[in-house]
Chains A and B, each alone.
Chain A
Amino acid sequence: MAGYLFRRFVTSLVVVLGISMVAFAMLHLISSSPGRAVLGLHASPKAVAAFNKANGYDDPIVIQYWHYLLQLLHGNLGYSYKLNQPVTSVLGENVLRSLYLSGVSLVLAILIAIPLGIYQAVRRNHLGDYIVTSGAFTLYSMPSFFLGLLLIQAFALSLKIFPPEASQSVSVIGVIEDPRAMFLPILNLVAIQVAGYSQYMRSSALDGLGQDYIRLARAKGLSQKAVLTGHLLRNSILPMITLIGLSVPALLAGNLLIETLFNYPGLGLMFYNALQNEDYPILLSYTLIAGVLTVAGNFIADVAITIADPRVRLS
């Protein structure tokens, strides 16, 4: 088992290295001459060249990548000339607020989706299943921000229960203390995630219900509840672990849209603003981090599966 995880870890490192190459390559292709971007169109070519030389932007590409990699290893993600701030500090300002939003919505989504999926599988092709499936299908076919628009229309503009804008508090504590303002963005994220997870859980549970060991559990005389909690749950959650590990990109995309829609100052909004400013160091650093997080998510899921599944653990 340890050997397996070690090999998975090495593979993950290889992938991370690949991601850094892609991020670097894109940075290089899109803004190969940062001097021009920083100094503006009116700067003399000489000044641009001097700037590029001073910052090592005229070295051979491999050397530049090597420097880039070394900087990364030292935790230096580059410098945002637009904001006049190191990228790390820009990220640092926003990371906790985003973490709160994503974390709360992910946990809520899992807690809702698992029982919902099992319920659907057990009541397969009954009314409840149809209703949930239709709802999930509609949500799934909807751009995530559109649900947000509907929520704003209903709860903020028509009913006026919740504000249309998320908490603007600078500190996370402030955000946590303002659940009313966070209700709609969190509800929005939870709803889209539940739509995906519950359908996956449904098919996983359906798969489980068709297994011979469920029949044997029933043949022992166990009640439906005991069969579901004692035999079905653990086995059908196993594939969910992998799915959740794979969901980092979707989570980040969700953040980007929802934070933009609700004007919530997190990493997503930061990314949106950087897009408007064409602030490539921030954009690509964030992309790099997103890639690393995705790899990490997969790896953590693998570890979790290894712990949860005796077939993997003991082989």
Chain B
Amino acid sequence: MEERETEGVEESPLNLGGGIGPFEPGITDPLDGGEVDDTVTSGWRLAVRSFAENKLAIVGLGILIFFVLFCYVGPHVYHSNQISGNVLNSDLPPGSGHPLGTDNNGYDELGRLMVGGQAALEIGFFAAIIATVIGSLYGAISGLIGGLLDGVMMRIVDVILSIPYLLIVLIVATRYSGTVLSLSLILGLFAWLVPARLIRGEVLSLRVRDFVSAAKVMGSGRTRLIFRHLLPNALSVVIVNITFQVADAIIAIALLGFLGFGLQYPHVDWGDMLSTANTALGNGYWWLVYPVGISLILVVMACNFIGNALRDSVDVRLRRR
């Protein structure tokens, strides 16, 4: 370092905070860049902190954990026969032996709630992952390549987005037997459009940011730009999107099930359990409607709470930059 070519400057580059004579104010050292906080807070840590401060997010997380435990650990604790129904026991009101009664096939409703919840959570999660992966890749490619390809790709998105999701999903569902995998695929394959648009928009806005220009000026190649700068920065949008996708997919399962296009009997998800809800209410079998309905709403709400909090905390990170 040959910075000593300057004359007369107090040579105290590392003596931050002092080194200047009390009545020589003119000689402030440009080498004093000011203090830096002692605590390191990464962007993610900041996001986590802001997330943790959001009470609703914690509640949401709690609800979600509760239902995961309820659905997966529950059956090991609370044993009920979910293999074969017993028509003699059908439509029993809650009482001893059946805390939530039985359904019209004589299955224990509480046990059914656990099994149905597994399917709902799995489909919601898989569908969200499928939609987000396809959407992110599609959006990223479209945004990164740009030009004519981008135009064509986005028109395709316009076309599919113009076809109402529920209608097309139902039509496809009439043809494919209802398994967890097929339902996840159907829901996921028609839900990637929104994330595709989101990611494309994010990539486009990142592309013109100064730090990307800076990397170009350093001689960075395309690959590095994409993998070191663009994608990591777009990742937060993807993560926020997944939670909302889970919520949407669980709602979609409920709709499909309600209309009779859910899992194939005897498999069941929460939506299927509501397919006879209207008649059940008419007959006064409330236990067949409210426990499952409320569980479903709580899980969707939990996902939405978490999604909102994640979005806010990511925003916080970006705002503070």
Contact = CB atoms under 8 A, between A and B. Distances in A.
Interface of A: 11, 14-15, 18-19, 21-23, 26, 30, 137-138, 140-146, 149, 152-153, 157, 164, 248-250, 252-253, 256-257, 260-261, 271-272, 275-276, 278, 280, 283-284, 286-287, 290-291, 294-295, 298
21 contacts: A19-B159, A22-B159, A22-B163, A137-B304, A138-B301, A141-B300, A143-B258, A143-B271, A143-B274, A152-B281, A250-B164, A252-B166, A256-B167, A256-B259, A257-B258, A283-B167, A291-B162, A291-B164, A294-B164, A295-B162, A298-B162
Contacts of B191: none
A262 B77 CA distance: 39
B165 interface: yes
Given A26-B171, A283-B174, A291-B162, 12 more contacts: A138-B297, A141-B300, A144-B255, A157-B282, A252-B167, A253-B167, A253-B255, A256-B259, A257-B259, A276-B260, A287-B163, A290-B163
A283 B175 CA distance: 13
Nearest to B173: A275
Contact of A15 (B162, B171, B259, B278): B162
Interface of B: 155-156, 158-160, 162-168, 170-172, 174-175, 247, 251, 254-255, 258-261, 271, 274, 277-278, 281-282, 286, 289, 293, 296-297, 300-301, 304
Contacts of B166: 249, 252-253, 256
A275 B300 contact: no
Contacts of B281: 149, 152-153, 157
A249 B164 CA distance: 5
A229 to B, nearest CB: 30
Nearest to B308: A137
B159 A15 contact: yes
B164 A19 contact: no
B265 to A, nearest CB: 16
A248 B164 contact: yes
Contact of A145 (B163, B164, B255): B255
A44 B216 CA distance: 69
Contact of B167 (A15, A21, A30, A290): A290
Q: Quick one: which of B167, B286, B293 has the most chain A CB within 10 A?
A: B167
A286 to B, nearest CB: 7
B301 A261 contact: no
Nearest to A23: B163
B167 A18 contact: no
Nearest to A20: B159
Q: Quick one: which of B260, B271, B297 has the most chain A CB within 10 A?
A: B297
Contacts of A253: 164-167, 255
Contacts of B259: 256-257, 260, 272, 275
B304 A15 contact: no
Contacts of B155: 11, 14-15, 18
Given A15-B159, A149-B289, A149-B293, A261 B278 contact: yes
B278 A18 contact: no
A180 B296 CA distance: 30
Given A138-B301, A145-B258, A286 B162 contact: no
Nearest to B277: A149
A149 B278 contact: yes
A250 B258 CA distance: 17
A248 B301 CA distance: 24
A146 B170 contact: no
A283 B169 CA distance: 11
A146 B293 contact: yes
Contacts of A157: 281-282
Contacts of A14: 155
A232 B236 CA distance: 32
B178 to A, nearest CB: 13
A30 B300 contact: no
Contact of A142 (B156, B160, B297): B297
A143 B251 contact: yes
Q: Quick one: which of A137, A164, A291 has the most chain B CB within 10 A?
A: A291
A164 B278 CA distance: 10
A29 to B, nearest CB: 9
Contact of A278 (B156, B158, B174, B286): B174
Contacts of A276: 260
Contacts of A138: 297, 301
A98 B140 CA distance: 40
